[in-house]
């Protein structure tokens, strides 16, 4: 039987709950400033709830010693900057024997020290869908956090992905019952943003509505979704952005997209430029937590499209990037991903389904920009405050 755990004290007195966050592919992706922030928001939220927080992550060697040393050094610098020096545990894996599970090999941490942290931890908050069941078994309580709402339920329900058993399941999708074969008890949470780390930045002279986005999913290889009923569709943001390629010619508002375009995307790049989109390289403007934040906070607001799957599932998905814009006091014009019981539409945040919706949103924002900046910050504080999100997880994951 698993042991009961301590909820964080309301007064900040007494024993703290110990939380381990298990992100995926952060240490191996030092150029992903936004990817880093996804998980750091949760860290800060639990800290704001009075928890003692550790970071646990699998590191995969590139096979290049110099590259590995660079990645580990950048990771260590960032952990120290955010107050996690001595509280991050990296591990790699080595095969025990043919056909057996992978055994963790800890990097810079004594195995006994790592196990001691696991044993005292009250809740593992896990984003690594493929974590070894033996590793999960070291923790008294485990919660899987889904940041791909709809897709993860589909993959699990149709046997496309095996995820080891967890005690609790949380999702940033608001309406998550629609995917087929969804039998797990999902707790709905919201994507968090630390208001302390993302302050209001009002700039009336900011020019461009921006976003930072992949063009192709699947790590740049392209993402496609297969369902058991025979449906098969492309799930890249390229599809939805190109549906709105005429937008800059329909409004006086200017736009810049920080897109991860590759050598094979010359035609798409030329097409975007011909339609008056500006294009930035995310590896220049968002290659660290600091540059990612600066890019967002120097923008006028966000224009964002969603993956086709989020439109299909209608689960009211909101991007972790969008909540950073909102917290910074930047109005957002984002694609409508389904009915919501709480998401605003028409002030600070605009959810569009048509070209006309988007055009009208920019006219409304620019008619009273300061008002919509203030409302954007209010939306972040009301719905996406990392401390409140952490509280929801803690209350929902009580044994």
CB 286 within 8 A of CB 34: yes
What is the model's pLDDT at position 13?
38
The two counts, helices (H) then strands (E), for the chain are 14, 16
Candidates 180, 192, 137; CA nearest to 383 is 192
CB 383 within 8 A of CB 190: yes
Question: What domains are defined for the chain?
Answer: 18-194+386-396 (3.40.50), 208-384 (3.40.50.2000)
What is the model's pLDDT at position 15?
59
User: What value does the mean pLDDT of the chain take?
Assistant: 92
- Please report, rounded to a whole number, the percentage of residues in the chain having pLDDT higher than 70: 92
* C-alpha to C-alpha distances, 395 to 124, 218, 389, nearest whole angstrom: 14, 34, 10
Give the bridge partners for 58, in sequence order.
91
What is the model's pLDDT at position 232?
78
What is the b/e burial string over 201-213, where b = at least 16 CB atoms within 10 angstroms of the residue's CB?
beeeebebbbbbb
Of 94-108, 270-284, 381-395, the poorest mean pLDDT is in 94-108
Cα pseudo-dihedral 44, 46, 52, 57, rounded to 10: -70
pTM of the model: 0.94
Mean per-residue pLDDT for 106-114? 96
Convert the pLDDT of each residue in 46-67 to its tens digit.
999 999 999 999 999 999 999 9
What is the b/e burial string over 95-119, where b = at least 16 CB atoms within 10 angstroms of the residue's CB?
eeeeeeeeebebbebeeeebeebbe
């Amino acid at each position: 039987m698993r042991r009961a755990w301590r909820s964080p004290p309301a007064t900040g007195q007494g024993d703290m709950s110990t939380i381990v966050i298990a992100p995926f592919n952060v240490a191996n992706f030092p150029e992903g400033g936004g990817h880093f922030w996804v998980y750091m928001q949760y860290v800060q939220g639990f800290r704001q709830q009075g928890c003692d927080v550790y970071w646990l992550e699998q590191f995969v060697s590139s096979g290049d010693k110099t590259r590995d040393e660079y990645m580990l050094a950048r990771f260590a610098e960032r952990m120290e900057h955010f107050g996690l020096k001595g509280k991050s545990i990296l591990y790699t894996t080595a095969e025990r024997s043919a056909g057996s599970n992978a055994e963790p090999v800890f990097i810079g941490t004594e195995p006994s020290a790592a196990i001691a942290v696991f044993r005292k931890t009250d809740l593992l908050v896990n984003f690594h869908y493929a974590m070894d069941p033996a590793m999960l078994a070291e923790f008294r309580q485990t919660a899987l956090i889904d940041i791909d709402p709809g897709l993860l339920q589909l993959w699990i329900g149709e046997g496309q992905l095996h995820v080891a058993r967890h005690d609790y399941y949380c999702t940033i999708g608001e309406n998550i019952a629609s995917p087929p074969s969804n039998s797990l008890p999902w707790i709905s949470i919201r994507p968090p943003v630390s208001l302390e780390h993302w302050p209001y930045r009002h700039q009336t002279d900011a020019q461009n509505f921006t976003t930072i986005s992949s063009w192709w999913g699947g790590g740049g290889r392209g993402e496609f979704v297969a369902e058991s009923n025979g449906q098969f569709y492309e799930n890249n943001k390229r599809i939805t952005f190109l549906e709105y390629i005429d937008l800059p010619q329909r409004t006086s508002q200017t736009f810049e997209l920080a897109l991860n375009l590759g050598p094979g995307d010359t035609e798409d790049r030329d097409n975007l430029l011909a339609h008056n989109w500006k294009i930035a390289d995310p590896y220049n403007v968002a290659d660290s937590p600091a540059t990612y934040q600066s890019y967002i906070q120097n923008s006028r607001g966000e224009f964002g499209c969603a993956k086709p799957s989020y439109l299909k599932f209608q689960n009211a998905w909101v991007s972790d990037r969008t909540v950073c814009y909102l917290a910074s006091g930047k109005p957002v014009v984002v694609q409508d991903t389904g009915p919501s019981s709480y998401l605003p539409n028409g002030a600070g945040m605009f959810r569009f389904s048509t070209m006309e919706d988007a055009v009208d949103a920019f006219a409304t924002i620019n008619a009273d920009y300061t008002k919509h900046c203030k409302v954007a910050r209010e939306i972040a504080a009301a719905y996406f405050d990392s401390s409140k999100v952490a509280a929801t997880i803690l209350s929902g994951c009580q044994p």
